[in-house]
C-alpha cells in the first residue's frame, strides 16, 4: 500500500501531498513570503505533486503566495483549493450561498494566477443551503471549465452520498490520524464504496505525533491549538505520556515518530492521501519520505493500540466549532 502515487479522480498525486495552511497562519508566526515561496518550490523539487490551499487560509494570502511563487510551475502540480469559508473584514465567514461560492472561485482563480482549479472543495457544509444548490454551482463551475473536479470537507457519509448523487465527488477531506479516528465510523467505507479519494488533513495531529511539542505553554498566543481541548494543559499532560511508547515503536520500525504516523495512514487504505503541512524544509523531506516506510501488521496494530479514541483525552474542537461540522462522532 505504499505506492508513490495515489488517485484522485483522473489525477495521479504523490501519496504524501502538501498542506499549505501552515505557511500563512494557524500555528504561530508564519515565515516571510520569500521563505514560504522557497519552501513550496522545494516541496515540488522533492516530488510533492498536489498542493492544498483554501480561500480561508490567511484570508486569501495563502492562495496569493502560491500564485506568486509557483505560477511559473503550474503544470507541475495538482492544485486543490476550497470555498465556503472565507474572511470578510477580518472575520471568518461560513456560507454555502451559490452566488458567494461562485465569486469565491473567481477570486481564488485570480489569487492563484491560474485559469483552472484542479480540485475545488466545499470547505464546510453549512447545513442550511440545500446541497442541490451548493453542489449545483460547483457542478456548473466544472462545466464552465473553471474547476476540474469537486470535493467535500468535514461531512458525514450520508452527506457525501447525497452530494455524490448530484455531481461526482472526487475527494473528501477530513482530519484523520492515529488520534482522530472518527472517519473510521462511516466515511472511509463510504469513500471506498463510491470510489472517492480520502484526503487526511492534520495527519500528524497538529504536530503532536511528530513529538516536537511537549509543552503547550510554549505555544504562541494566537496558535489555534490553544483553543482545542486536546491541547488544554490538563488534557495535554495526559496525552503527552503516550509519546514515550510511540517513540519506542518508531525506533523499532526504523523511522521517526512522524513517519510512523504518516505510514500508518498510508497502510490503512490505498485510498488515503495525507497532506501534512510544515514550515521546515527538513520536515517536508522527512514527511515525503514516509511513503517509503513499510510497516508490518504487528507495528500497525501496536501503533493503533497506543494512540486511539480511547487513549486520547479531549475532543477535536470546542463545542461551538464542533457544532458547525457535519461529521460522525464517537458516542
User: Which residues have a catalytic role annotated?
Assistant: 57
Q: Three cell numbers at 315? A: 475532543
Do residues 312 and 230 touch, judged by C-beta distance below 8 A?
yes
Is residue 133 exposed (0-12), middle (13-18) or buried (19+ Cβ within 10 Å)?
A: middle
C-alpha to C-alpha distance for 144 and 39, rounded to whole angstroms: 33
Residues 6+ apart with CB under 8 A from 156: 186, 187, 326, 327, 328
Q: Three cell numbers at 135? A: 453542489
Taking the CA atoms of 212, 217, 220 and 221 in sequence, report the sign of the dihedral they define: positive
Identify each DSSP E strand in the chain by its residue range.
5-8, 11-14, 18-19, 50-52, 78-83, 85-88, 91-94, 117-122, 147-153, 169-175, 197-201, 272-274
Do residues 217 and 300 touch, judged by C-beta distance below 8 A?
no
Is residue 91 exposed (0-12), middle (13-18) or buried (19+ Cβ within 10 Å)?
A: exposed
Do residues 191 and 156 touch, judged by C-beta distance below 8 A?
no
Distances (CA, A) of 91 to 88, 94, 144, 226, 286: 5, 10, 30, 19, 35
Cβ neighbours around 195 below 10 Å, total: 13
Amino acid at each position: 500500500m505504499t505506492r508513490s502515487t495515489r488517485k484522485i479522480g483522473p489525477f495521479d498525486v504523490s501519496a504524501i501531498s502538501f498542506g499549505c495552511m501552515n505557511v500563512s497562519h494557524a500555528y504561530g508566526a508564519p515565515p516571510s513570503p520569500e521563505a514560504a515561496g522557497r519552501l513550496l518550490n522545494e516541496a515540488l523539487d522533492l516530488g510533492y505533486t498536489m498542493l492544498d490551499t483554501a480561500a480561508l487560509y490567511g484570508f486569501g494570502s495563502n492562495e496569493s503566495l502560491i500564485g506568486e511563487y509557483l505560477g511559473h510551475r503550474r503544470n507541475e502540480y495538482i492544485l486543490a483549493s476550497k470555498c465556503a469559508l472565507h474572511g470578510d473584514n477580518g472575520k471568518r465567514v461560513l456560507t454555502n450561498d451559490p452566488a458567494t461560492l461562485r465569486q469565491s472561485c473567481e477570486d481564488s482563480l485570480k489569487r492563484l494566477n491560474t485559469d483552472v482549479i484542479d480540485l475545488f472543495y466545499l470547505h464546510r457544509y453549512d447545513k442550511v443551503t440545500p446541497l442541490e444548490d451548493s453542489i449545483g454551482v460547483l457542478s456548473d463551475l466544472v462545466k464552465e471549465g473553471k474547476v476540474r473536479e469537486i470535493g467535500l470537507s468535514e461531512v458525514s457519509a450520508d452527506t457525501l452520498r447525497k452530494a455524490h448523487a448530484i455531481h461526482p465527488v472526487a475527494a473528501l477531506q477530513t482530519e484523520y490520524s492515529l488520534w482522530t479516528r472518527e472517519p473510521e465510523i462511516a466515511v472511509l467505507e463510504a469513500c471506498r464504496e463510491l470510489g472517492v479519494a480520502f484526503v487526511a488533513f492534520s495527519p500528524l495531529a497538529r504536530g503532536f505525533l511528530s513529538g516536537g511539542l511537549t509543552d503547550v505553554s510554549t505555544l504562541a498566543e494566537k496558535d489555534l491549538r490553544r483553543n482545542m481541548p486536546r491541547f488544554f494543559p490538563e488534557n495535554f499532560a495526559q496525552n503527552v505520556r503516550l509519546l514515550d511508547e510511540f517513540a519506542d515503536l518508531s525506533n523499532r520500525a526504523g523511522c521517526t515518530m512522524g513517519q510512523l504516523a504518516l505510514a500508518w495512514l498510508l497502510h490503512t487504505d490505498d485510498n488515503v492521501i495525507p497532506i501534512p503541512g510544515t514550515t521546515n524544509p527538513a520536515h517536508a523531506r522527512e514527511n515525503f519520505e514516509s511513503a517509503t516506510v513499510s510497516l508490518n501488521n504487528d507495528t500497525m496494530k501496536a501503533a493503533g493500540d497506543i494512540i486511539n479514541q480511547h487513549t486520547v483525552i479531549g475532543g477535536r474542537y470546542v463545542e461551538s466549532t464542533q457544532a458547525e461540522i457535519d461529521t460522525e462522532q464517537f458516542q
